[in-house]
Structure 1
Amino acid sequence: MGALLRGLVGLILSSVLVTSALAATAPVGGYTVVKAYPHDTAAFTEGLFYRDGFIFESTGLKGRSFIRKWNLETGVSEQERIVDSRYFGEGVVDWKNRLYALTWTDEIGIIYDIDSFERIGEFSYPGEGWALTRDDKRIMMSDGTSFIRFLDPETLKETGRIEVTDHGVPVRNLNELEWVKGELLANVWQTTRIARIDIKTGNVVGWIELAGLLKDAGVTGTQDDVLNGIAYDAVSDRLFVTGKLWPKLYEIKLAPAN
């Protein structure tokens, strides 16, 4: 009886600790919309970044995946590469004169020339590929778990990884990524939030709540049309967000967290 009682007490204490950890979350901040831009409603957005006045975007779904460079103001495509129909396209990032693009479950990444969009090579990685971003020294990759992988930008070999947590609770389903002012921003798949991550520790230092964008975009966010896509214009300090199959891409200004 004593052992049983101790077991029950231990179970209750464990439950209390888990509940407390889940209840403790990083501060949540909002946003204001600065401007809305057109976005292709056929684009199942997986990767997004801004470079030299253009948006670069990669999309998913087999037979419908592409990489595109498009005009921010008009939404008109300037250049496009259809991804081999065998692959479900995922995230994309630039490095020097190259584009690195992931595939979802094939464990293959494709290298393109950034000017011509011609395929010039490939690389491999274990597990799933979800999203990519970079700072000036390394590439960061999400794989749908709570971990962020670090890749050497020249060899594309993994050099390490870190787990993302909010008050000790792993944050899973990390998706599209963007490096912004020394923080890693990450969409969390099937939620309306972006995590602000201290990449040195893996700690979530804050959340950006974007639920209000769904109504304006005319989407539910409950099917395929989930929030996904973050891009940053470092020169003009502009932050852009969108979602899969959304009709708009939004420039937003972040509000202080509560």
Structure 2
Amino acid sequence: MDRLPTRGFRERLHRMLAHVEEMRHRNGVRPFSHPMKVLLTILLLPLLACCRGPELLHGRVTAELPHDPKCYTQGLEFHDGRLFESSGGYGSSTIREVDPANGMVLRTRALARNVFAEGITLLHDELWILTWHENTAYVFNLDDFSFLRSYKYTGEGWGLANDGKQLVMSDGTHILKFIDPENFRIVRTIEVTDRGRRVDQLNELEFADGAIYANVYLKDKIARISPNDGRITAWIALDGLRKRLPQPHDAEVMNGIARNPANGRLLVTGKNWPRMFEIEPVREGP
């Protein structure tokens, strides 16, 4: 289990045990002993955990920053206090470093015109980037954006993150792939689900605090995913952010998640958005 049982979770467990006790009483069976109740509780916990739905959170905005409205954001990530971003499009794909204080583009490198840039991640002081249909991952030096090497893979490339050891890759389906960075071979995969239902079109990824955060294409919300079994443990609603964008704008889908290690908050934006938002996921309700 990812966290301690909630009050509602415990109440459901108590109701289930009470129902079992009532049925035994009606059938003239003696009540459970205390050790038996403890054993039943242990056996029922995994069942209830599987049935429990994700937390419903919303992103409380703590700061706004300018963002290049010409950037078709595909990946966003902090590294040692620096912010990096990728922008997609045939003939316009770039990797860039952005000032996290004011959103200003500090430096950029254009990619080949026949490459559609996708998600990025920073691992071992190197910048890794996927491509959409080119079946190639590129690795660049972090300090001067010089090319280092490339790897081939099958299928589409969408989002990319890392857990400090392995890369985590999305391809627009409900599958997340864990990749060995030494050879870009798939180590394992997980199916992402919400109460047993597959959730596809997973896009940009961020690994933070032991969980995977994922944009879902065409959705103004972020999924928090268990890297162990792919279960969505929370949804972070961000539908109010579009209303905060200055008019007029050509903002497209939400995409881009970066955890700021300085304060633990998430920086989010979208394709051609004129703003980035620092958010703190909080529980819905009063």
- TM-score by length of structure 1 reads 0.86
Deviation per residue, 1:206-255 (Å, 9 max, x gap) = 1001000011024899x861110000122421211101100111111111
Runs (4+) off by over 4 Å? 218-221
**1:125 counterpart (135, 148, 153):** 153
Unaligned 5+ runs, structure 2: 1-51
SS at match of 1:212: coil
1:66 to 2:82 alignment: no
SS at match of 2:241: helix
**1:227 counterpart (254, 257, 268):** 254
Q: Which amino acid aligns with 1:193?
A: K
Q: Which residue of 1 aligns with 2:178?
A: 150
Q: Which amino acid aligns with 1:109?
A: A
Distance in 2, matches of 1:123 and 1:143, equals 16
* 1:135 to partner: Cα distance: 1.2
Distance in 2, matches of 1:253 and 1:99, equals 26
Distance in 1, matches of 2:284 and 2:134, equals 39
1:211 to 2:239 alignment: yes
Q: How many residue pairs align between the two structures? A: 234
Distance in 2, matches of 1:168 and 1:209, equals 20
Q: Which residue of 1 aligns with 2:77?
A: 49
- TM-score by length of structure 2 reads 0.78
Unaligned 5+ runs, structure 1: 1-23
Distance in 2, matches of 1:219 and 1:134, equals 36
Q: Which residue of 2 aligns with 1:253?
A: 280
Q: Which residue of 1 aligns with 2:214?
A: 186
* 1:154 to partner: Cα distance: 2.5
Larger relative strand fraction: 1
Q: Which amino acid aligns with 1:247?
A: P
Distance in 2, matches of 1:161 and 1:257, equals 32
1:28 to 2:50 alignment: no
* 1:59 to partner: Cα distance: 1.1
CA RMSD of superposed structures (Å): 1.8
Q: How does 1:134-149 map to 2 (within 5 A)?
A: 134-149=162-177
Q: Which residue of 2 aligns with 1:3?
A: none
Please say if residues 53 and 71 of structure 1, whose CA atoms lie closer than 8 Å, have aligned partners that are also in contact. Answer: no
> Radius of gyration: which is bigger?
2
SS at match of 1:73: coil
Q: Which residue of 2 aligns with 1:196?
A: 224
Identity in percent:
37
**1:237 counterpart (261, 264, 267):** 264
Distance in 2, matches of 1:25 and 1:87, equals 39
**1:37 counterpart (65, 77, 90):** 65
Q: 1:86 to 1:177 in 2, by over 3 A?
A: same
Please say if residues 251 and 274 of structure 2, whose CA atoms lie closer than 8 Å, have aligned partners that are also in contact. Answer: no
Q: Which residue of 2 aligns with 1:17?
A: none
* 1:54 to partner: Cα distance: 2.1
Q: Which residue of 1 aligns with 2:189?
A: 161
